[in-house]
C-alpha cells in the first residue's frame, strides 16, 4: 500500500467503501484552525492547572506569602512541588485532552493511525536513531542558541528566563531524586508534548497544507510554546527535527525517544556539569566551528539516510499494491 492509499484508509469509517467525513469537515472548520485553537486552549488550561496545584501543595507545606519576592523564593525552594503541578497539567491537557480532541478530525477506527501511534518493524531502529540524532546534534543546537543571542530582546524577557534558569540550576544542585526529576522533566514532556505537537498538530496541519509546511509550522509553534524567545531558534529546530522523524518513521514513538534523550541529557548534564551547562550564552561565546561542522555533517547524513529509507519503503509498499 502506498502513502496516498494509506492516508485515505486512515480517514475511512467502518464502511470500507465510503470516505469518512470528519466533524471538522462536516461543520466547515479548517484542520489547521482547530489545531491552533487547541494549542492556545491547552496551553492556558495546562498553565492554570499547574499553578493551582503547585500553589496548593506549597500552601500545605508551609503557607503562602502575599509578598511577590517571598512567593518566588517559596516557589524556588519547592521546585519539586512545582514539577508535580506541571506534570499534572501536561498529562491532563497536553496528553489526554489532546488525544480526545483529535477525534474532531478523524473517525474512531482511524484515530490511532491519525495520531501515528504505530509500532512498525523499523520503529525501534528509528527510536535509537532519534536519540542519537539529538545527542550528535547538540553542537548545532548550541550554535543556534548562540545565533539567538545576536537578536536583541527586551530586558523583561531576558530577566524571566534568567530567573527560570537560576531556579533549575539551584534545584539540580540540591539533593534531588534523579529518577523523579527525570520523570517530571523528561518522561512526561516527551510523551505529552509529542502527543500534542507531533501526533496531533503535525497531522492537522498536514491535512490542511501538506507535510513540509506542517513540519516547519509545527516546529515553530513548538518553539514558541516554551515562552523562551532567547531559545526560540534551538527549540524550533528541535521541533522541526522531531516532526521530520515522525513523518519518515510513520510513528510518534521515535520523536518521544528523541525528546526524552534531549531533556534527560539536559538533566544529567546540568546535575554533573553545572558550570558548563548553565554558563551564560553571549554573542562572544560562539561554539567551536569544528564541533559544529562535525555535528552538522553527521546529523545531515542521518537525516538523509532516513529520507532514503522512507522512499525505499514507499517503493516497496507501492510494489505490493
Mean pLDDT, the chain, whole residue set: 88
pLDDT at 60: 83
pLDDT 10s digits, 277-290: 887 777 778 889 99
pLDDT at 99: 98
31-69 b/e (C-beta count within 10 Å ≥ 16 → b): bbebbbebbeebbeebeebbeebbbeebeeeeeeeeeee
pLDDT at 10: 47
Q: Which residue has the higher pLDDT, 18 or 75?
A: 75
> How sure is the predictor about 70, in pLDDT bands with cuts at 50, 70 and 90?
low
pLDDT of 255 over the 80 cut: yes
The predicted model scores a pTM of 0.90
125-129's contacts with Cβ under 8 Å and 24+ in sequence apart are 126/245, 126/248, 126/249, 126/251, 126/253, 126/254, 126/306, 127/253, 127/254, 127/256, 127/257, 127/258, 128/257, 129/245, 129/254, 129/302, 129/306
**CA separation for the pair 190, 311 (Å, rounded):** 27
Exposure of 199 by Cβ count < 10 A (0-12 exposed, 13-18 middle, 19+ buried)? buried
Q: Are the C-beta atoms of residues 217 and 137 closer than 8 Å to each other?
A: no
Lowest mean pLDDT among 100-114, 152-166, 223-237: 152-166
Domain boundary assignment for the chain: 3-319
pLDDT of 97 over the 90 cut: yes
Distance of CA 305 to the CA centre of its chain: 23
Average pLDDT of the residues in 160-180? 82
pLDDT of 11 over the 60 cut: no
Amino acid at each position: 500500500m502506498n502513502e496516498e492509499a494509506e492516508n485515505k484508509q486512515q480517514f475511512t469509517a467502518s464502511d470500507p467503501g465510503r470516505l469518512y467525513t470528519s466533524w471538522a469537515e462536516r461543520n466547515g472548520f479548517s484542520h489547521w484552525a482547530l489545531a491552533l485553537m487547541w494549542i492556545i486552549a491547552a496551553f492556558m488550561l495546562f498553565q492554570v492547572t499547574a499553578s493551582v496545584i503547585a500553589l496548593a501543595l506549597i500552601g500545605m507545606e508551609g503557607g503562602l506569602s502575599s509578598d511577590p519576592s517571598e512567593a518566588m523564593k517559596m516557589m524556588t525552594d519547592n521546585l519539586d512541588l512545582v514539577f508535580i503541578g506541571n506534570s499534572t497539567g501536561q498529562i491532563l491537557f497536553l496528553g489526554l485532552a489532546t488525544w480526545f480532541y483529535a477525534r474532531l478530525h478523524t473517525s474512531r477506527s482511524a484515530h490511532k493511525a491519525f495520531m501515528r501511534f504505530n509500532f512498525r518493524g523499523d520503529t525501534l531502529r528509528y527510536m535509537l536513531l532519534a536519540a542519537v540524532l539529538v545527542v550528535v546534534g547538540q553542537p548545532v543546537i548550541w550554535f543556534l542558541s548562540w545565533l539567538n543571542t545576536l537578536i536583541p530582546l527586551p530586558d523583561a524577557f531576558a530577566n524571566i528566563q534568567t530567573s527560570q534558569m537560576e531556579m533549575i540550576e539551584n534545584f539540580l544542585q540540591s539533593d534531588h531524586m534523579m529518577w523523579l526529576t527525570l520523570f517530571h522533566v523528561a518522561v512526561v514532556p516527551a510523551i505529552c508534548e509529542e502527543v500534542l505537537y507531533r501526533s496531533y498538530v503535525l497531522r492537522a496541519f498536514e491535512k490542511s497544507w501538506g507535510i513540509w509546511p506542517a513540519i516547519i509550522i509545527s516546529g515553530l509553534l513548538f518553539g514558541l510554546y516554551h515562552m523562551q524567545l532567547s531559545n526560540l531558534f534551538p527549540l524550533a529546530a528541535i521541533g522541526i527535527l522531531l516532526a521530520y522523524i515522525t513523518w519518515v518513521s510513520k510513528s510518534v514513538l521515535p520523536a518521544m525517544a528523541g525528546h526524552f534523550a534531549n531533556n534527560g541529557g539536559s538533566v544529567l548534564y546540568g546535575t554533573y556539569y553545572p558550570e558548563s551547562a548553565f554558563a551564560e550564552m553571549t554573542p562572544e561565546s560562539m561554539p567551536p566551528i569544528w564541533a559544529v561542522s562535525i555535528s552538522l555533517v553527521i546529523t545531515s547524513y542521518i537525516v538523509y539516510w532516513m529520507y532514503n529509507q522512507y522512499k525505499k519503503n514507499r517503493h516497496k509498499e507501492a510494489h505490493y499494491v
